[in-house]
């Protein structure tokens, strides 16, 4: 039985990756290593927690001693590394947590993998999940390709860029069998309501203002989270290491246009008059260093590995709104902090 370590599996994307791997690969044992920060929530994995090929481990990748011992104990065959501090606004307020988890934490995992695998790499894999934000900002036209030079602007994207460089350095220096992917903005169920789409769904629900940064003209390329998980599956199982793949939905939206679509869908689902939610739009001071536009060219992934997004945006956004409205308790719980208290009681403070 192959032992796969997935880090950050209690978070938004990680929980979808865990579910896909646990269900699809009964001959893999999936270990979910997560610190359970404010963004990590085991409620996201209720349906897999009893599966025989799944184990949750609470732990912090910043702790090199812990990480080392964990790898020595379980002798993982592969790693899919998603654990990170992931919110740009938080990185502006508190960069150091991003440096520690995203850079130091990644190096600890690389060292631990190198230590147990020695030079017997066989079909071992260290898959690092990264972001399109490392490429910086585009103007009105053009796309990010795998060889677009790095140009990060926020502490978050700079920390992810740094971790990508370190992962590649371990490949070039020690032959560690690494793979990297850089994905565009994800949306869908289980995203913490600090990111644009779930934050605005929650605010509309409570008739609270919708804070649009600047003029709302920034452009993001949105991908349904399950399609990202499917891409991670395909890439993890690809033949060649040392490769990078861009993942994106070819689905660009100006923030303000996306917000108006979301408002319309919410009015419809909540049975409110047309235009009710749009009245909540409030323009606020722009994010510092706000990247204008991201757009991914994912043709390498599509041509070489045959992946393509399964959902159109209109369908994805309806599914997403439906999920949050059907799971209002989840939203209330993660915004009230009750679940953090629960973890403290269950696992104690570390
Ligand atoms: P998230 O914030 O929802 O989840 C991150 C998870 O990592 C949480 O469960 C958290 O508890 C865990 N974690 C944080 N610090 C840790 C530590 N020190 N040790 C162990 N676990 C820790 O993030 P997400 O949006 O699911 O993103 C997952 C990964 O995908 C990140 O690496 C992110 O950079 C990348 N990514 C995200 C997006 C996106 O749109 N959300 C797009 C492209 C790439
Ligand atoms: O591109 C991939 C990245 O997408 C991931 O690496 C990050 O982890 C993820 O958080 C996301 O980053 P963004 O900064 O693009 O996502 P966010 O949801 O924070 O913001 C999306 C856009 O909406 C961005 O242009 C900022 C704007 N925004 C965001 C919030 C939270 C607002 O106008 N108002 C808001 O309140």
**Chunked mean pLDDT (size 10), the chain, 350 residues:** 98 98 98 97 96 98 98 98 98 97 98 96 97 97 98 98 98 98 98 97 96 98 98 98 96 98 97 98 97 98 97 95 97 84 68
218 lines ligand 2 (CB under 6 A): yes
pLDDT of residue 340: 73
CA–CA dist 79, 252 (Å, integer)? 31
What pLDDT is recorded for position 344? 76
- Does the CB atom of residue 35 touch ligand 1 within 6 A? yes
Domain ranges of the chain: 2-187+222-247
Q: Is 8 in the pocket of ligand 1 (CB under 6 A)?
A: yes
Q: Retrieve residue 143's tokens.
A: 């796309």
Q: What is the pTM of this model?
A: 0.97
Contacting residues for 339 by C-beta, under 8 A, at least 6 apart: 41, 43, 333
Which residues face 182 on adjacent strands?
130, 246
- Picking from 37, 180, 167, 153, the residue whose alpha carbon sits closest to that of residue 88 is 153
Q: Which is the catalytic residue, given 54, 127, 143, 156?
A: 156
> Counting atoms of ligand 1 from 1, which one is nearest the CA of 87?
2
Q: Which of 184, 231, 224 is nearest to 321 (CA)?
A: 224
Q: Are 44 and 72 a contacting pair, CB within 8 Å?
A: no
Active site residue 339: no
Question: Which stretches of the chain are DSSP H helices?
Answer: 12-24, 64-74, 88-93, 95-98, 106-117, 155-174, 196-205, 225-236, 255-270, 299-305, 313-326, 328-336, 338-347
* pLDDT at res. 336: 87
> 34, 60, 133, 252: which is the annotated catalytic residue?
133
Of 60, 132, 221, 243, the catalytic one is 132
- At 282 the pLDDT is 97
Note the CATH number of domain 2-187+222-247. Answer: 3.40.50.720
Minimum-distance ligand 2 atom for the alpha carbon of 255:
23
Structure tokens at 32: 């979910």
Cβ–ligand 2 distance for 213 under 6 Å, the answer yes
pLDDT at 348: 66
**Could you give the CA distance from residue 300 to residue 319 in angstroms, rounded to a whole number?**
28
């Amino acid at each position: 039985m192959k032992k796969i370590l997935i880090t950050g599996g209690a978070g938004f994307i990680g929980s979808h990756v865990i579910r896909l791997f646990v269900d699809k690969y009964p001959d893999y044992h999936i270990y979910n290593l997560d610190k359970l920060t404010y963004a990590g929530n085991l409620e996201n994995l209720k349906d897999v927690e009893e599966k025989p090929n799944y184990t949750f481990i609470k732990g912090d990748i910043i702790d090199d001693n812990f990480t080392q011992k964990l790898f020595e104990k379980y002798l993982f065959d592969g790693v899919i590394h998603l654990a990170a501090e992931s919110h740009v606004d938080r990185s502006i307020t508190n960069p150091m947590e991003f440096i520690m988890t995203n850079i130091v934490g990644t190096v600890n995992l690389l060292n631990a993998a190198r230590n147990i695998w020695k030079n017997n790499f066989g079909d071992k894999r260290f898959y690092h999940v990264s972001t399109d934000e490392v490429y910086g900002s585009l103007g009105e036209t053009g796309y990010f390709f795998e060889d677009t030079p790095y140009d990060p602007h926020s502490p978050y994207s700079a920390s992810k860029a740094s971790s990508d460089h370190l992962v590649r350095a371990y490949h070039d220096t020690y032959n560690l069998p690494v793979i990297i992917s850089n994905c565009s903005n994800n949306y869908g169920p289980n995203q913490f309501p600090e990111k644009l789409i779930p934050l605005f769904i929650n605010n509309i629900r409570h008739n609270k203002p919708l804070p649009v940064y600047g003029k709302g003209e920034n452009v993001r390329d949105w991908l349904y989270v399950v399609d990202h998980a499917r891409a991670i599956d395909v890439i993890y199982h690809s033949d060649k290491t040392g490769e990078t793949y861009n993942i994106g939905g070819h689905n660009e939206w100006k923030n303000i246009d996306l917000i108006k679509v979301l408002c319309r869908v919410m009015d419809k689902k909540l049975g409110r008059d047309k235009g009710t939610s749009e009245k909540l739009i409030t323009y606020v001071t722009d994010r510092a260093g706000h990247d204008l536009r991201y757009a991914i060219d994912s043709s390498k992934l599509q041509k070489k590995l045959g992946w393509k997004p399964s959902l159109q945006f209109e369908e994805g956004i309806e599914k997403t709104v439906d999920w949050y409205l059907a799971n209002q308790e989840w939203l209330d719980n993660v915004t009230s902090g009750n679940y953090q208290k629960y973890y403290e009681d269950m696992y104690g403070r570390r």
